[in-house]
Amino acid sequence: EVQLVESGGGLVQPGSPLKLSCAASGFTFSSNWLNWIRQAPGKGLEWVASINPDGSSTYYPDTVKGRFVVSKDNAKNTGYLQMNNLRSEDTAMYYCARTPHWGQGVMVTVSS
């Protein structure tokens, strides 16, 4: 059974960093892309990052480019999303996903 479990969320102040983790199981992690999607409270879904299977290529929308860094450790079957210089508009539930499976999400709140 495919499982994706996010962790590392919480309440942080504007300008702070935060690193999310996504522990994967039930599939060959090293052969798959990993994606991060977020959902602000009461809003729709927004793609925020993707990384290719061997971790050599990463992709971001303009809204987070230069602030977020996606990575994966294939030896640990774990993906990461390093978020820097967080803003109030980054407040959201963050999901990791590997088509078609999604994790349960982790909440990130950016507030002073």
> Which residues are near other proteins by CB under 8 A?
33, 35, 37, 44-47, 50, 52, 59, 61, 95, 99-105
Q: Are 64 and 81 in contact (CB under 8 A)?
A: no
Closest approach, Cβ 85 to other proteins, in A, equals: 23
Q: What is the DSSP letter of 88?
A: G
Q: Which is nearer to other proteins, 42 or 112 (CB)?
A: 42
Q: Which is nearer to other proteins, 63 or 74 (CB)?
A: 63
Local structure of 84: helix, strand or coil: coil
Q: List strands edge to edge, sheet with 18-25.
A: 3-7, 18-25, 78-83, 68-73
Closest approach, Cβ 5 to other proteins, in A, equals: 11
Q: Are 78 and 24 in contact (CB under 8 A)?
A: yes
Q: Is the dihedral of CA 22, 26, 27, 30 positive or negative?
A: positive
Q: Which is nearer to other proteins, 10 or 61 (CB)?
A: 61
Closest approach, Cβ 65 to other proteins, in A, equals: 12
Closest approach, Cβ 43 to other proteins, in A, equals: 9
Q: Which is nearer to other proteins, 27 or 33 (CB)?
A: 33
